[in-house]
Amino acid sequence: MSLETIILAAGKGTRIKSKLPKVLHKVGGKPMLQHVIDATKKAGSSREVVIIGAGAELVEKKISGVEFVLQKEQLGTGHAVLSAREKFETSEGIVLILCGDTPLLTAELLKKFVVAHEISNCAATVLTAEMPNPTGYGRVLHEADGTFQKIVEDKDATEEERKIREVNAGVYCFDVKKLFGALERVTNDNAQGEYYLPDVLPILKSDGEKIFTFAADYCDETIGINSREQLAAAERILRQRKTLELMNSGVTIEDPHTTFIDVDVTIGQDTIIKPNTYLEGNTTIGIECEIGPNIRFVNMKVGNRVTAQFSYCHDAEINNDVTLGPYVHIRPGTKIGDKVKIGNFVEVKNSNVGKGTKLPHLQYIGDSDVGENVNIGCGTVTCNYDGKTKYRTKIGDNVFVGCNTNFVAPVKVEEGAYIAAGSTITKDVPKNNLAIARARQTNIENWTDKRK
């Protein structure tokens, strides 16, 4: 059966106190709304309609691959769903409804939930969870015979009802026709003056329909993020989940508590991650690497058997068998070839560094193409910028660059050339030439005696 989904993401997110729409706040390096969308798609949804309102333009800009519906005024979750009615005029079967602020939901749970609804033959199924601290959630009330009665919101609950720990996770399956048939009858006669989506359930019940509740095994998955405190709690759970998943796939993580790995990062078998390491965005790391301590990689493509410590690298590629660090900054557009040795105190930007080349200490390499097996001496700088334009430095294979060389770009050094230490290279150097570009030394005899 094809599965269509509505995701509610129009709310102001008052309690998170932010200019950024709540659903765009990131956990595990990804906006929480994106987590919900990804899980939904993975669970087999064929179409996602996202209800937007507060900060709608920004949400549309940051999120793709879904349909949007604007809820002009945020009058409650029931009103939000109603604003998508036109989009479901011709739909039949099941609609899955979720909130954009429950980023820990997994595709596995959603799949189980949808199957449970399908076989229940009910008009609606609600996902519930047993929360150790249920404050803020809607509580699930049952009839004396154990069947579903209604959901009462925290703000509307009596003291007795507030003690109930079975909560509404904000995830529902509905028969789409029956949902929209009943939704118009929801009123806003409650503590918040809002049209609550859960209020459609007792209405369906009064129509003679059956409502099913499906309990999640772990309450962790169903946490809703309303505050920064809950955001941090979700971050911690996601991080734990990610490190556990990696360890189970054959990655050593020496100290999961000080290792921060975004959800979309991939790491190969037998790689060791040392403490204080941050692997962010769409970083991929190969097999048998040793990463850390103190590494921050953002959107990095890293090969196999790379050793890296005490460094920050972003939006770049590092091939196999590279030794990196300590104290290296690799900036966007850089490609580091196989077996390169790089660090201490080296910055490389928008450059290609060929196989086997050594950049061992105190270099700035910017907008450069460095060949294979090049040895670059300590303190070498590419002078790539004249205040207006950036220029490239090209260094051929097997070049030897003496210490403290400046390359004033644009400049080209052909293969096999040799640059004397302390040179400022302003002209191209032909193949196999020696270039010396520094003032000759003069020694003045008895100078110190004369000074006295």
Q: Which residues bind ligand UD1 (CB under 6 A)?
A: 8-11, 23, 51, 53, 71, 74-77, 79-80, 99-102, 137-138, 151, 153, 167-170, 196-198, 224, 226
Residue nearest to ligand UD1 (CB): 138
Q: Which residues contact 346 (CB under 8 A, 6 or more apart)?
A: 327, 328, 329, 359, 360, 361, 362, 363, 364, 365
Site string for Ca ion, 167-186 (x = CB under 5 A): --------------------
Minimum distance from residue 129 beta carbon to Ca ion (Å):
13
Edge-to-edge strands, sheet with 411-413: 266-267, 284-285, 301-302, 317-318, 335-336, 352-353, 368-370, 393-395, 411-413
**The pair of three-digit structure tokens given for residue 226, joined into one six-digit string:** 């309303």
Contacts of 306 (CB under 8 A, 6+ apart): 285, 286, 289, 290, 291, 318, 320, 321, 322, 323, 324
The count of residues interacting with Ca ion (CB under 5 A) is: 3
Nearer to ligand UD1, 4 or 290 (CB): 4
Preceding peptide of 132 cis, ω within 30°:
no
Give the count of beta carbons closer than 10 Å to the beta carbon of residue 248: 8
For residues 205 to 244, the per-residue mask of contacts with Ca ion, x marking binding by CB under 5 A and - elsewhere, is -------------------x-x------------------
* Binding partner of 337, given Ca ion, ligand UD1, none, CB within 5-8 angstroms per partner class: none
In the complex, least distance from residue 168 CB atom to Ca ion, rounded to whole angstroms: 10
In the complex with ligand UD1, which residue's Cβ is closer, 140 or 273?
Answer: 140
Q: Which helix (H) or strand (E) holds 280?
A: strand 277-280
Cβ neighbours of residue 443 under 8 Å, at least 6 residues apart? none
Minimum distance of Ca ion from residue 383's CB (angstroms): 55
Nearer to ligand UD1, 169 or 246 (CB): 169
- Is residue 29 at the binding interface for Ca ion, with CB under 5 A as the rule? no
Query: Which of these, 304, 235, 337, 333, lies nearest to 291 by C-alpha position?
Result: 304
Which residues share a beta bridge with 312?
296, 329
Shortest Å, Cβ 154 to ligand UD1: 7
Least Cβ distance, residue 15 to ligand UD1 (angstroms):
8
19: helix, strand or coil: coil
Q: Are 98 and 36 in contact (CB under 8 A)?
A: yes
Give the SS3 label for residue 159.
helix
- Please tell me which residue in 35, 257, 314, 361 is annotated as part of the active site: 361
Nearer to ligand UD1, 193 or 387 (CB): 193
Cβ neighbours for 440, distance < 8 A, ≥ 6 positions apart? none
Which partner from the list ligand UD1, Ca ion, none does 49 bind, CB cut-off 5 to 8 Å by kind? none
Q: Which stretch binds Ca ion (CB under 5 A): 31-39, 78-86, 100-108, 249-257?
A: 100-108
By a kind-dependent CB cut-off of 5 to 8 A, residue 168 interacts, out of ligand UD1, Ca ion, none, with: ligand UD1
Bridge-partner residues for 242, per DSSP? Answer: none
Please report the sign of the dihedral spanned by the C-alpha atoms of residue 99, residue 174, residue 207, residue 164.
Answer: negative
Residue 361 known to be catalytic: yes
Q: Which does 51 bind (CB under 5 to 8 A by kind): Ca ion, ligand UD1, none?
A: ligand UD1
Residue 101 binds Ca ion, judged by CB under 5 A: yes
The residue number with the shortest CB distance to Ca ion is 224
DSSP secondary structure letter of residue 138: P
16 or 324: CB nearest ligand UD1: 16
Q: How far is the CB of 36 from ligand UD1 (least distance, A)?
A: 9
CB of 107 to ligand UD1, least distance (A): 18
Give the residue with the Cβ less far from Ca ion, 168 or 393: 168
The secondary structure of 338-375 as a DSSP string is: TT-EE-SSEEEES-EE-TT-EE-SSEEEESEEE-TT-E
Interaction site with Ca ion (CB under 5 A):
101, 224, 226
Catalytic residue numbers, as ranges: 361
